[in-house]
Amino acid sequence: MVTASGDVRIPEQLGDDSNLIAGRWTKARSGARFPVVSPVTGAVLAEVPECAAVDVDEAVAAAKAAWPAYRSMHVFKRAELVLRVAELIRKQAETIAEVMAVEQGKPYTTEALPELLETALNFQLAAEDVVRMETPIIPMRDPAKRVLTFREPYGVMAVITPWNFPTVIPSEYLGPGLAVGNCVVMKPASATPLSMILTAHCIQQALDEFGVPPGVFNLLTGPGAVVGDYLVAHPDVALVGFTGETVTGEVICSRAGIKQTLMELGGNGPQIVCADANLEEAAKAAATGCFMNAGQVCCATERILVDRKVHDEFVKLIVGEAGSWVLGDPLDPATTMGPLNNEPTAVKTERHLADARAKGAQILLGGARQSGRPTDLYFPATVIDGVTRDMLLNTEETFGPVAPVITFDTDDEAVEIANGTGYGLQMSVFTSSIRHCFWYADRLRTGNVVFNDTTDYWEAHEPFGGGGGTKSGHGRLGGRYTLDDVTHLKTVAIDIEKTL
Ligand code: NAD
């Protein structure tokens, strides 16, 4: 294990033949490739294929051809296969996590390695849950009828994923998708394809060991607006799983038409701190929510709403907590926060802070990129007070290491601010009253609410996703709930009086 990103050895599987089509690792048809640059060191880590429509056609054709045999594989056998993927990822976890830390920027010990273990867990959970997918038998008014239901895979599933969790987000689709018998064509984010390509080697090894036809799982790298766009509109793709920005999700839905979609989109998670909360715990949790993965988490704490009665004390505590986050090289065990992943995210963070300052908010800690680092992406933990509803920090998703403090006077006002942005992914509330918990749980318009822990709390097997009708999307990722979203229910009615 090395302790500096510059010393990480990039495995030789990562290069211009990193496309996986029909069980073979290949180049883009055109031979084009693009560099993957480390946000930590600025070095080019590898050059990977830059695909186009022709590569998508090949991958989709391979998945389509593999599907009849793969869907008829017995479910217990498929479960064994998916469990084997989990085992192989666990064996490679340290190597893949090192690559993830240098390509994404997240700390190796506290985030990258745990992400790989959760990636493996998602395959394991899918393998365990798929063999217990019970479906109803429905009593009919016609006494001669017996009606049974079955969950069936869709066919070819497209999976398109972002750069903030390069392997765990793909695994939330791939584990369930493969376990139920879909064949997959996936496209990882162009900023962070390397750790996913290494994970794909584990998947393909398991597929080879089980002797399934080539093409059950395919991976293509390339620009979202070219490869992703063509893939989701492809007539032979039946199901689309997408995690990314809300605006991209809207474009994809319009291109996918009536195909089944799972859309895991942006968030603007508030942490609400009531006057009866344990303030030390609330400040610690808010810091985790704001600074984990440098704030680049869909359920990050994007806003801290604090009851005016405890504002001054809470602000002192959050500044203290934020000051303890150590910005640095993700491979250094002392580091708790790495650089931002990319320039657009840094620019957006600066834009939101500038807007807030111009409208009267005060920066109490951090607030600007640090100079003298290997790249220009090192942004320290930042606390800003006096944030109001009209500021971009409140209305939009920032996705940077910022703790914006907004003050409220009544619970009704807190709910109004929390619900007022159109996003509704995960929210958190700190209170010592169980009555308060249920009061808020009933009123917050969101897919998930956490009480007395960070907005960044989740476990792999709980249902996670946007609250109905919000900009955060639809469908559920997590454990057995995803199995429902990657299958459709087939109803079979039998007239037993007319059988032998
Ligand atoms: P993004 O939307 O820019 O890109 C996501 C993926 O979509 C990438 O692979 C990209 O290449 C591809 N893409 C881009 N344009 C496309 C198009 N026109 N057609 C098809 N594919 C296209 O998102 P990002 O910046 O990579 O990720 C950050 C966003 O993801 C944030 O908004 C974050 O909140 C969200 N996110 C949501 C969840 C969740 O579970 N709800 C989890 C993590 C991240």
Same domain for 244 and 336, yes or no, is no
Residues 106-134, mean pLDDT to the nearest whole number: 98
Same domain for 258 and 276, yes or no, is no
**Domain of 403?**
270-461
Same domain for 69 and 83, yes or no, is yes
Q: Do 218 and 63 contact (CB within 8 A), yes or no?
A: yes
* Closest residue by CA, ligand 1 atom 41: 264
Spacing, Cα 243 to ligand 1 middle (Å): 5
User: 53-89 pLDDT, tens per residue?
Assistant: 999 999 999 999 999 999 999 999 999 999 999 999 9
Single-letter amino acid code for the residue at 334: A
Task: Tell me, yes or no, whether 496 lies in a domain.
Answer: no
Q: Is the pLDDT of residue 468 over 90?
A: no
Q: Do 213 and 66 contact (CB within 8 A), yes or no?
A: yes
DSSP string, 178-214: HHTT-EEEEE--TTS-HHHHHHHHHHHHHHHHTTPPT
Q: Does residue 338 line the site of ligand 1, with CB under 6 A?
A: no
Q: Does residue 161 line the site of ligand 1, with CB under 6 A?
A: yes
Same domain for 197 and 49, yes or no, is yes
* Closest residue by CA, ligand 1 atom 39: 264
Residues 358-384, mean pLDDT to the nearest whole number: 98
Same domain for 286 and 353, yes or no, is yes
As a whole number of angstroms, the distance between CA 481 and CA 447 comes to 13
Task: Tell me, yes or no, whether 351 lies in a domain.
Answer: yes
Q: Does residue 222 line the site of ligand 1, with CB under 6 A?
A: no
pTM: 0.97
Task: Tell me, yes or no, whether 499 lies in a domain.
Answer: no
Q: Does residue 349 line the site of ligand 1, with CB under 6 A?
A: no
- The dihedral through the CA atoms of 464, 421, 280, 385 has a sign that is positive
Task: Tell me, yes or no, whether 221 lies in a domain.
Answer: yes
- Strands 239-243 vs 487-495: parallel, antiparallel or unpaired: unpaired
User: 200-234 pLDDT, tens per residue?
Assistant: 999 999 999 999 999 999 999 999 999 999 999 99
Task: Tell me, yes or no, whether 500 lies in a domain.
Answer: no
Q: Does residue 247 line the site of ligand 1, with CB under 6 A?
A: no
Task: Tell me, yes or no, whether 431 lies in a domain.
Answer: yes
User: 271-304 pLDDT, tens per residue?
Assistant: 999 999 999 999 999 999 999 999 999 999 999 9
Question: Per-residue confidence at 479, pLDDT binned at 50, 70, 90?
Answer: confident
Same domain for 366 and 223, yes or no, is no
Task: Tell me, yes or no, whether 330 lies in a domain.
Answer: yes
Same domain for 20 and 81, yes or no, is yes
Residues 172-176, mean pLDDT to the nearest whole number: 98
Q: Give residue 350's pLDDT.
A: 98
Task: Please give the DSSP secondary-structure letter assigned to residue 288.
Answer: H
Kindly report the CATH number assigned to the domain that includes residue 225.
3.40.605.10
* Closest residue by CA, ligand 1 atom 15: 224
Residue with tokens 């979203």: 485
User: 183-193 pLDDT, tens per residue?
Assistant: 999 999 999 99
The set of residues, in sequence order, having a beta carbon less than 8 Å from that of 430 and lying 6+ positions away, is: 271, 272, 273, 274, 277, 278, 281, 282, 285, 451, 452
Task: Tell me, yes or no, whether 131 lies in a domain.
Answer: yes
Kindly report the CATH number assigned to the domain that includes residue 364.
3.40.309.10
Same domain for 211 and 285, yes or no, is no
Task: Please give the DSSP secondary-structure letter assigned to residue 235.
Answer: T
Same domain for 279 and 425, yes or no, is yes
Same domain for 205 and 309, yes or no, is no
Question: Per-residue confidence at 198, pLDDT binned at 50, 70, 90?
Answer: very high
Report the number of distinct structural domains present in the chain. Answer: 2
* Closest residue by CA, ligand 1 atom 23: 244
- Strands 239-243 vs 217-219: parallel, antiparallel or unpaired: unpaired
Same domain for 385 and 244, yes or no, is no
Q: Is the pLDDT of residue 373 over 90?
A: yes
Q: Does residue 229 line the site of ligand 1, with CB under 6 A?
A: yes
Spacing, Cα 395 to ligand 1 middle (Å): 19
As a whole number of angstroms, the distance between CA 447 and CA 478 comes to 13
Question: Per-residue confidence at 435, pLDDT binned at 50, 70, 90?
Answer: very high
Spacing, Cα 278 to ligand 1 middle (Å): 35
Same domain for 274 and 133, yes or no, is no
Residues 151-172, mean pLDDT to the nearest whole number: 98
Q: Give residue 28's pLDDT.
A: 98
Burial class (CB in 10 A: 0-12, 13-18, 19+), 251: middle
